Structure 1
Amino acid sequence: MNNIPETSPRQSHPHRFPHRGLLPEGSYFTLTWTIGYDYGGMTTVALERSSAFARLDNRRVEILTLSPEMKGLDRERELRAAGSIDRKVKVRNLWQDLTSWSDRKLRRMVGTVDPDPTAADDVITRTGQEWTEQRNDSEDSLLQADRYHDRGHLLVIDRQDMKKPGRRGGRRITLFDREQTVIAQWSTARDFYQAWLDIVIGDKPSYLICDSAFVGNFIHEYRRDNVILCMVNHNHFLADANDEPTGALAEDKFGYLRQLDGFDLATTLTDSQRVAMEGLDLSAGKLATVSNLTDDLHGDPDRPRPRSRGSMVARLSPQKRVEDAIAAVASVVADGQQVTLDVYGDGDDRPMLSELIESGNAAGRVTLHGHVDGAKSNFLSSSFSLLTSRFEGQGLVVLESMSAGCIPICYAVDYGPADIIEHGTDGFLVAPGDVDGLAAAISTFLSLPEDEVSRMRRNAVARAADFFHDPIVRRWGEVLAAQPFVPIIRAENARAEVRTAEVTADGVSVTLSVSDLGGSTPEQMFISWKSRTGTFYGRVEAHSSKELITADIPLSRIEPITEEYVDFSLDLVFGRGFERVRLACSEDSALSSSAALHLYSSKHGNLSGRFIRDGLTSTS
């Protein structure tokens, strides 16, 4: 497994259906949690990318799902019937596999703890024929789930109150054969999922692309020499889209954002987001920009369409800020111009938005159509589109609108619109939250000469072509081919010890030594910090000088932290290897604090800090 050759995106090998060389040779997998019936943009992108890989490079792609809710569903057939996936794309679910496999196949699952045969005694009395029995606590939190094989016998006991019965804490997942003999056990769901992935992927060179933030928060530990692991960042990475880039990270992505060097590759949808993330040293060269791909809607720039007709495809949720679009249309109407807006999408904000339409000048001008399959086709007959989001990963609807020859009028939010649109050439950009500016842009568009509008439509269609399937698949081929299948370097025994740590007027200065690297030399090192609660995280590059490692954390990087305690670590990056080591403090460590930040050795002997905001200096 350690001698896998490097590959080229142009390299081809004989197959029954020969690959076309757009992607490097290997097996391809898309990993997500589930594929529901009301899925959003992230799942849409994952399905379309998988299908584009299959269709354009003539290869099989498997979409892997982990959710037990997928068990019993034939989503592959349903998605193919709906035209959502290519015929060479397969959908596979962990629980569909386990509940149908024979004992011989189940024994391929490798456990991570010594089997305890008494686990069978934990079984919940079965009350019916459902494949799952659950035990919850008084607050309805799950304490145990028993899963049954399709043939009726007990398959899995997932007990989550191992430390103290009746209270969540400690986990044991046990897999049984038909005789109720323990096959294997795991102490975490993460290890359980990895055992299944090992069987599905095998030992051939493979590319595993994860789209789910939830899955990404634990899959970064799935490191195999033969698997190139990629994380796709689909949306904003900060907790507050309007925050400065030194603030807290997005809670739903916190687990993987502080582990980006654990992946071989992490992609952003726009250059601007990649630059912002690199500016915070979130990754040591693992980031690359790979845009969303969009369908060629074959928009005709010269097709007659009512100038006054606008369309908007958006969830009716606070993020999408549809109320601004309604207010802008009402303002344009109040100025005596003819304009309509059709909104396609549904969500919790619908009652509020309906009331807003009726109470203003938008009645009869703005129509909420709810969820409509294939809503993007309405861009073909619309003249302009609106995007008023608070933030975007890229803004797929902007690309769809441009592909249809429909002129986008967008808030220039992070991230996306400004990376796609050239203001006044193929669309319009408006300052985020500026309703008057949005209304003015609509009015400007309505008053443009017809030849100018035709020019903008042609430019929009041409710009959208940069994001059609073929160029984006080729881009994927480039970034994946740049990832070599070299052995992963591990340094689990590495130890970092603080020599000095001082709070200065400029920030925090740290000097330390590192040992037990197992003969490997890190390519880069960073001092990282994480708030003990909340989602504050950051790091700065450390430098080696003789036998010591030094790093300076600027005051501007730690001042925004609002949580009380912060813990420090040393990050070691070895190319395909990544280790995070807490900073040990011994009696010889010299710690110097300030009135605002108290540095101390925690009860486990590691460097931590407490922000002093109430005059107290107690530590834990």
Structure 2
Amino acid sequence: MTTVALERSSAFARLDNRRVEILTLSPEMKGRDRERELQEAGTLDRKVKIRNLWQDLTTWSDRKLRRMIGTVDPDPSAVDDVLNRSGRDWTELREDSEGHLLQVDRYHDRGHLLVIDRQDMKKRGRRGGRRITLFGRDQKVIAQWPTARDFYHAWLDVVIGTKPSYLICDSAFVGNFIHEYRRDNVILSQVIHSHFVDDVAGDHLDELSGDKFGMLRHLDAFDVVAILTNGQREDMSKLDLAARSMKTISNLTENLHGDPTAPRPRGQGAMIARLDPIKRIEDAVLAVSKVEVVRSGRVSLDIFGEGDERPVLEELIAENRLQSNVVLHGHTPGAKNAFLTSSFSLLTSHSEGQALVVAESMSAGCIPICYDIDYRPAEVIDHGINGFIVPNGDVDTLSGTIAHFLSMPENEVRQMRAKAIERAADFFEEAVIRRWGSDLAEQAFTSIAQLKDARAELISASIDSDGISIRVGLSGLGGVIPDDVFVSWKSRKSHFYGRVRAVLTGDMITADIPLSRIVRITAEYVDFSVDLVVGRGFCRVRIAGDSDSIVNRSDRLKLYSTKYGNLSGTFTRADLTSTS
């Protein structure tokens, strides 16, 4: 992900002669001249600048720091929380007896206290409640924030200011809170680099990825959501996760300038992947072991990458006596260049957000042989023309395909290499940046609707064995007519979320939720809301209502009104008896 972000930023700078800043939040980046390191390594264009939150704060003057606007009234007593300084390091920590972080103090480069981030505001000594306090050189409070999100947003406001800007987020972690950073002068984009569901090997699309859950539930808050493949975008569209923001924009790959006529050992294979269970590298090893010609040394596989599966793979290689055929090279800078001298590559993952390594292999003229997985080598490869697609998890067919490739006439292989290089050009930087430019140019810096007074009142809700029928009245929209309206639901403990499009008639909406959409949320609670999309604006409000408006005719899910007067549901487990 980081490599892709660096390459895209450099491509923007080169092709559009545009200034690009990469914004980072990590305290570990403070004081590191990563910009110079990456430029000297040829990874970062000279017009791209890396900017770090903590590098800014620890070097800014008080005048610049005062541009950070707090979101709560400052409490001057916060200075009393300062920890005893144990050394000359810029950070002091306080933890509980189990090692949980309770407080972080940060110091300015000139030595005075800069920030106290206290994370036990509800009860001292126990995590809960937060207060981030920014101090000036006089040790008086400049501003305070109750969340890291608000603190980060304040820094972004200083960095971006009022100038029209495009902000592209690559991190799922940051995406979980950056969706709330809505400014009229900022076109906000999110890139989804990996699978959006939790069980990538399963058939269900309803339990979303836990590390993306906050972001995936708020996709309409982004102006552009970049999905790497059409397949994933189509699956996300089936769940109505976004009304209008999703675009298919591939990651870019380097042009390796492969030569289709260059001689290569036909049996030389290459694979670039983390040594992780999700990559199923053991399948590649077993496939090589099944190729009959392995005994004559005509097939070999170089694997580049590191991870926890190394001991398991080393044992598997030894068991099959493949030490001279399969080599684990570990993490190797410039590993993709191995594709230039290899004849074929393998991809055996459970899933990929986008199998960029396939395009890299094709760019080098190295023929990819890939499992038919999400998301989706088959969108890149024309089977038998520029690569091969193998049924997912079928080691025998994978092995047979390698053997078939080894037996192909040389003129046919050269044609495949030429076709692979031709197809890879669709993922080179000019094509990908042109798509980014087109999709960003469609966005307008219009005012973002703020529906702070919006309310949703339950008129009626009935549930039977087929599903839920619901009617809700809307108010507080100030005469604004939403572009799209949905009824959404979210489980409280797990990562289930979904929604259905509602029909708006006047100030009332109606929607039908098939029970099949939510029955996998078992033995816990689910909360219902109304999602409103207005231009660039997005608003979610809980559905308020009392139990008199609810009719329950299902033994799977019971709707009820919470103690706060909102619509929720509780699932019953079929294996529980009345006495258990």
User: Fold conserved (TM > 0.5)?
Assistant: yes
Q: Name 2:312's counterpart in structure 1.
A: 352
C-alpha deviation, 1:589, in angstroms = 2.1
Contact 2:547 2:561 in 1 (8 A): no
1:182 counterpart letter in structure 2: V
Q: Name 1:138's counterpart in structure 2.
A: 97
Q: Secondary structure at the match of 1:97?
A: helix
What do you get for the CA RMSD once the two structures are aligned? 1.4
Q: Which string of whole-angstrom CA distances, capped at 9 and with x for unpartnered residues, describes residues 117-167 of structure 1?
A: 000000011100110000011111110000000000000000000011011
Q: Secondary structure at the match of 2:291?
A: helix
Q: Distance in 2 between matches of 1:547 and 1:299?
A: 61
Q: Name 1:216's counterpart in structure 2.
A: 175
Contact 1:284 1:524 in 2 (8 A): yes
2:417 counterpart letter in structure 1: R
Q: Distance in 1 between matches of 2:83 and 2:334?
A: 45
Of the three residues 329, 336, 352, the one matched with 1:376 is 336
1:157 counterpart letter in structure 2: I
Of the three residues 375, 382, 389, the one matched with 1:422 is 382
Q: Distance in 2 between matches of 1:226 and 1:69?
A: 30
Going from structure 1 to structure 2, the CA distance change for 1:547 and 1:90 (only over 3 Å counts) comes to closer
Q: Name 1:79's counterpart in structure 2.
A: 38
Q: Distance in 2 between matches of 1:320 and 1:411?
A: 11
Percent identity of equivalent pairs:
64
Matched, 1:574 2:534: yes
Q: Distance in 2 between matches of 1:441 and 1:536?
A: 39
Q: Distance in 2 between matches of 1:285 and 1:544?
A: 18
The 5 A counterparts of 1:9-24 are: none
Q: Which string of whole-angstrom CA distances, capped at 9 and with x for unpartnered residues, describes residues 67-103 of structure 1?
A: 1111111111111111111000000000000000011
Q: Secondary structure at the match of 1:553?
A: strand
Q: Name 1:325's counterpart in structure 2.
A: 284
2:7 counterpart letter in structure 1: E
C-alpha deviation, 1:555, in angstroms = 1.9
Q: Secondary structure at the match of 1:530?
A: strand
C-alpha deviation, 1:498, in angstroms = 0.9
Matched, 1:604 2:534: no
Q: Which string of whole-angstrom CA distances, capped at 9 and with x for unpartnered residues, describes residues 551-608 of structure 1?
A: 1111221122235111000000002000000010136523424211110001111000
Contact 1:246 1:557 in 2 (8 A): no
Q: Distance in 2 between matches of 1:240 and 1:429?
A: 22
Q: Name 1:413's counterpart in structure 2.
A: 373
Q: Secondary structure at the match of 1:190?
A: helix
Q: Name 1:584's counterpart in structure 2.
A: 544
1:67 counterpart letter in structure 2: S
Q: Name 2:447's counterpart in structure 1.
A: 487
Contact 1:384 1:408 in 2 (8 A): yes
Count of residues paired in the alignment? 577
Q: Secondary structure at the match of 1:525?
A: strand
C-alpha deviation, 1:615, in angstroms = 5.2
Q: Name 1:260's counterpart in structure 2.
A: 219
C-alpha deviation, 1:230, in angstroms = 0.2
Q: Distance in 1 between matches of 2:532 and 2:507?
A: 16
Of the three residues 148, 167, 172, the one matched with 2:131 is 172
C-alpha deviation, 1:319, in angstroms = 1.3
Larger displacement relative to structure 2 (181-190 or 360-369): 360-369
Q: Secondary structure at the match of 2:313?
A: helix
Q: Which string of whole-angstrom CA distances, capped at 9 and with x for unpartnered residues, describes residues 270-310 of structure 1?
A: 01110110011000011000001111100000000000000
Matched, 1:294 2:253: yes
Q: Distance in 2 between matches of 1:132 and 1:319?
A: 37
TM-score (norm 1): 0.91
Matched, 1:45 2:7: no
Structure with higher RCO (Cα < 8 A, 6+ apart): 1
1:468 counterpart letter in structure 2: F
C-alpha deviation, 1:519, in angstroms = 2.1
Q: Secondary structure at the match of 1:301?
A: coil
The 5 A counterparts of 1:53-132 are: 53-132=12-91
C-alpha deviation, 1:335, in angstroms = 7.1
Going from structure 1 to structure 2, the CA distance change for 1:563 and 1:255 (only over 3 Å counts) comes to farther
Contact 2:119 2:130 in 1 (8 A): yes
Q: Distance in 1 between matches of 2:221 and 2:64?
A: 30
Q: Name 1:441's counterpart in structure 2.
A: 401
The 5 A counterparts of 1:465-504 are: 465-504=425-464
C-alpha deviation, 1:545, in angstroms = 2.9
- In structure 2, stretches of 5+ residues that fail to align are none
C-alpha deviation, 1:617, in angstroms = 9.6
Q: Secondary structure at the match of 1:329?
A: helix
Larger displacement relative to structure 2 (65-74 or 554-563): 554-563
